[in-house]
Structures are given as structure tokens and as C-alpha cells.
Amino acid sequence: MFSFVCFLWFTVIIRQCFSVCLHDVVQRETQVVSPPDAFTQARRLVSRATTWSPHLPLRVTPWYLPGESALLTPPQMSQLQTAMKEVTKTIGSMLSVSRREGPLLLNRDMNRYCRSVWGDPSLLNYKRCGSPDNSYHGERCLDVLIPDSHLYGYEVWPMNGTEPIHRTLDGAGVPDTDFLLYVRVAQTKKCALQPIVIAYASYCQLDHAGRPIAGVIVFCPKRLREVVNQHPHIVQVSLHEILHALGFSSSLFEKWIDCSFSEYGDLCSSRSRVTNIDENGQRRIYTPTVMQKMGEHLGVGSTGAPLENQEKSASSHWESRIMQGSILTASINPPHLTFLDPITLAAFQDMGWYKVNSSISHQLLWGKGAGNSFGLPSTCHKASEFFCKNKSDIGCHHLHLDKANCSTDTFLDGCYIYKPLPQGGECWLENGSEGTEEIYHHQSRCFFSNLTRFPEAPKHEKVKGRCYLHRCLGPNTFHIKVQGSEWTDCPAGEWINVAGFDGVLLCPDGRLCLGLEKPLLPTSTSTSTPALNMHKPATRQDIRVQVTLMAGLSWTSEKKTLLMDEVLGVIAHHAGVRSLRVYRTVPCPKRKVSHT
């Protein structure tokens, strides 16, 4: 008999997880299929023989591939499906489409199933398939083989005959669906090359008007397992990726249509040009609703909304310097700092395929009222309430929910902003800290301060981000409370003193008590997984687990590690644990293994 012992350290926390998006790269590799008679003229007829209903909520149907769940435990797969249900519900409340009657059927690509087409205009079967391609084995959506039951059939015709020489019947289709989303869990090459990526998505089928009707989302299992207990993060990443597949994709800009003077089944105009480059070299979207909402946000007349400028071609993301907090920036921030913003919804309105419920949007505070020059690389280094200068300084994220450090990344073009600390900076998350003037609580926010208690600490410490309680009295009006102090009035925009403390504290202006805060708890969680209660402090518990392996079996170190990861994963799931650290005794591998 052989045995080994593992000591487990459970800490109930939420980690600040980050991810990046690969949509533009993935979409370029995805073959897109349109109906055989799709129009490309300046004005296109959306539908002729097809019957369409009035605009109704968009129905996104996730299709889970058989066997794909093998890379996740049943509880993990259940949590993924729960997150996808929430995402599809959000999309249904956000977008409406003119529905086509009957089940959704996808098109086949004639260039794939047909080896040759009758090309003589005098022939009866001109432009019809004349001979099949024997290498044809069906349609794919990215790397997913589409079931035949989801596809239209196809025919092969003689030169002038009235009956086909080969016919494949239509499949049954997918009922109650406006967009079919194939969900894949796989450790692909892209997952391996980009370990920070949680998921990526693309569209692969369009309807007569150019609207995407099918796509695929791929979840990288390693990263997915790390965040599987963080329901809001999975929801956020999934929503970001599916919004690309639904139309916010640079490869679809040329297909956006203007149906403002017609219905979806009538004649709509193609938008002559969706994007252009401004005088500063910044590519922007110039469509009516986008320009209106961007102008309202910056406090100027209508202006284009900026796209990420990392590539020479148009990007499928908003510019990070100017649109921090939007759901569609390239670098995906933590869920409580990310919003479905009015400018993103305006883009979907201007696509022409959807009617948009703008009431569900959340106002952006980043750059609010800052004018046309906001966020330019030439201006971001100047003194600003949004940008910072001193690298690595600990300050406050602009929403004041988190402590943050002054840093930059590849999407910020040399500009520095206060980015939330990777861990431990959540003022709104109780952590049991004592012996300090700070207070971590669901009603705490981050304040710039150098307060020190008399006479325990030296005076005139450096100002930095600290966590204190706040309570709202009205719009932009609040009190603050430091550990050991009474509630103190905090006039927005002013530096104040706190009785019993040396130093000062800055009261944010236009950041707190505006009625804009969204819940920090997920709106829905899996019934099998306890939700994190932010009203309780984090806890720690040490547990000893002994696993005994039968003699005679061959157990490599790698197999032992995989076994323990599965055992600990089950324990963590049933205990409702958010983070788990493992310290193994001999003869386990010497490395420390983290299971989140």
C-alpha cells in the first residue's frame, strides 16, 4: 500500500481574473456561408418568399457538442450551462429581430459539395451543381462539424433534365431559434498559445440580409476550470464573445444595413461606409446612433466612436484608452468593473438587423464629459482625473470599488491608468483586516488618502488608495467612515480631515452615489453552487486529506497530481469554496498546485 497526505488551505475570495479576446484572429480563419441568392448590391432585398414576424426577442440557442463535457466535471459543466442561460436571457432582453417562421436551417456551401457547375446560360440547369465533390463530408462552423439535421439539403442536376440525379433532403432544423451557437470545450492550439484566454467565438452563417445566424464559442478548459466558480466572470466573457458573433465584428461592418425607413422584410439600404479614420489617425465608427451616443458621452456634438488601433485594419473592439469599462474592449476587465454600455447598444441598433432595448444599458463614467481630445496618446500624459503618471503607485480604480496601481498595457499606447490590483484590492469584499484605519465591507469604496491615527504613525505619509465605508445621502453626496471614527461629511471634490487622524482624504466627484452602481453579486447562480455572500468576511480553514493508492498499480507523479486535482475539485465544489491552495507532502511533486 502506498499513501500520501495533502494539506488544503481554503480561502473564500474572488480573484480578479483578466482575459483577452481573439475574435479578429479567429474570424479570419472561419469560413462563412451565406444563402445561395444573397444580395451584395448597394440595396438588397432582405426576403422574398420567406414569411417574417414582427420584431420579437432574439432567441440564441446553445448547442452543446456530444462528448465535449468530458473535459469538465458534471458540476463544472452544469455551471457553464447556467452561465450560458443567463447570457442568452440578457441578449433576449437586449435585442429583437424579425423572426422567420419555422425551424432554423443552415446553408451548405456549393463550393464544397459541388465539383462543377453548369456554366452555359442556354442550359436548363444553368448555375446548378452538375457533379458532386466526393470529398465532401459536411459543413463546419470553425472546427465544429454541423449535424446534417441542422442543414438544408442539396441537389445535383443533369445538363437539361427536370429531375435531379442526386438529392439530399433538408434536415429537421432547430426550432425556436434565431441564432444557433455551437458550444465547444477544447484545449485548442489557440488555448495553448494564449493561456490567459478563457473563450473565443466567431460566426459562420449569414441570412439574406447579412445577419449572423450561427456561430461557435470555444471555451479553453484549463482557464475555464480556474474561473468555474466565478459565475459573473464566465457570464461576462461569454457575453463579450457572443456579441462579436452576433454582429460586432470588423468583418461585418460592410454588411451593416439601414432599415430606418423600412421593415426587415422590405428594401433596406447598405450603409456606404461604417468606419473612417479621423484627423488623429484614429479609426472610428461613424453611424448615426453611435455618433449621437458618443457625442452625449463626451459632452460634444455627435462624433464617431473609436476602435482599437493595434492593427492597421479595423478592429472588433472599442479603443481601451477612451472606452474603459465597456463590455467590448479588447482586454476584458473584472465583471464588476465592466458594463453593457450605451455606445455598444447604439452599434447594434445601427447594424440594421436588430431593434435594441437601450434601457438595459449602464452609463460609462470613464471619460464622461471630457471632450473630443480625451484619451489621445498626446493628451493622456497630462494631469487628468482619469489617467495617472507615477508608475506602480497604489491609487483607486476610477469607479472607486477597488484599489489599483498605475500601469499600462499593449492596448493603452503608452497611457497609464489605475488598473485594479490582481488580488486583495476589492474594498467591497470583507477580508477581516484589523489594526488599520481601513474598512473592507460591501459598502466600502476606495479613497485617495494619507490618513494616519494620532499618535501611532508618522505624519505626512504618501497619499494612496485606501478602503473606507461610505453611505449615500443623495446624488453625489455622501458620508465616509474610517476605522475608529464617526461618520464624516465628504463634500464631492474636496480634501477633508477626519477627527482623530493626521492627513487628508479626497472625496471623489461624480463617482459615488449616482445610482449607477450595479449589483456586485451575480443576478443568478447555479442551484448546485452556493453564491458568495459579500456580507460575510473571508474565512480560512485547514483540512487534512489522505488518499491511499492500492499496491500493484502504476502511478506516475502526473497521474497522482491529476487524481488529487479531481478529488480536491469535488471537495471545493461541495464546500462552496472560491479559492483553494494545495500543499503536498512527499512523494507528491514539489511544485505548488493551485485549484480555483
pLDDT at 314: 87
pLDDT digits (tens, 9 = 90+) for 361-407: 888 999 999 999 999 999 898 868 899 987 878 999 999 999 999 99
pLDDT at 431: 77
- Fill in the DSSP letter of residue 476: T
pLDDT digits (tens, 9 = 90+) for 289-309: 999 999 999 999 899 999 998
- Percentage of residues of the chain with pLDDT beyond 70: 77
**Highest-confidence segment of 159-163, 176-180, 265-269, 525-529:** 176-180
Tell me the three state secondary structure of residue 79. Answer: helix
CB 73 within 8 A of CB 101: no
> What is the domain partition of the chain in residue ranges?
2-12+522-595, 110-168
Across 147-151, 165-169, 199-203, 514-518, least confident range? 514-518
- Percentage of residues of the chain with pLDDT beyond 90: 61
- Fill in the DSSP letter of residue 252: G
Q: Between these two residues, 229 and 212, which has the higher pLDDT value?
A: 212
CB 437 within 8 A of CB 488: no
pLDDT at 312: 72
Instruction: For residue 241, indicate whether it is catalytic.
Output: yes
Q: Which residue type does 127 have?
A: K
Mean pLDDT of 149-155: 96
pLDDT at 332: 82
Q: Does residue 587 have a cis peptide bond before it, meaning omega lies within 30 degrees of 0?
A: yes
Question: Terminal CA-to-CA distance of the chain, rounded, Å?
Answer: 30
pLDDT at 540: 41
Nearest to 197 by CA among 335, 17, 27, 408: 17
Across 448-462, 501-515, 522-536, least confident range? 522-536
Confidence of residue 157 (pLDDT cuts 50, 70, 90): very high
CA gap 8, 543 in Å, rounded: 5
Nearest to 63 by CA among 147, 164, 123: 147
pLDDT digits (tens, 9 = 90+) for 531-566: 323 333 334 444 556 666 555 556 565 555 555 555
pLDDT digits (tens, 9 = 90+) for 255-287: 999 987 766 545 788 888 899 999 999 999 999
Residue 171 predicted with pLDDT over 90:
yes
Q: Between these two residues, 548 and 103, which has the higher pLDDT value?
A: 103
Radius of gyration of the CA atoms of the chain, in A: 28
Q: State the catalytic residue, choosing from 241, 426, 430, 438.
A: 241
Mean pLDDT of 1-7: 36
Strands (DSSP E) contained in 118-254 are 129-132, 140-141, 144-145, 154-156, 166-168, 179-185, 199-206, 212-219
Residue 54 predicted with pLDDT over 80:
no
Confidence of residue 449 (pLDDT cuts 50, 70, 90): very high
pLDDT at 537: 36
Question: Per the structure block, which three cell numbers stand in for 107?
Answer: 446553408
Residue 542: count other Cβ atoms within 10 Å of its Cβ: 9
| DSSP character string of 491-524 | -TT-EE--TTEES-EE--SSSSSSS-PPPSS-SS
CA gap 377, 364 in Å, rounded: 20
Confidence of residue 522 (pLDDT cuts 50, 70, 90): very low
Q: Between these two residues, 226 and 398, which has the higher pLDDT value?
A: 398
pLDDT at 460: 67
Question: Per the structure block, which three cell numbers stand in for 42?
Answer: 448597394
Residue 401: count other Cβ atoms within 10 Å of its Cβ: 25
pLDDT at 214: 98
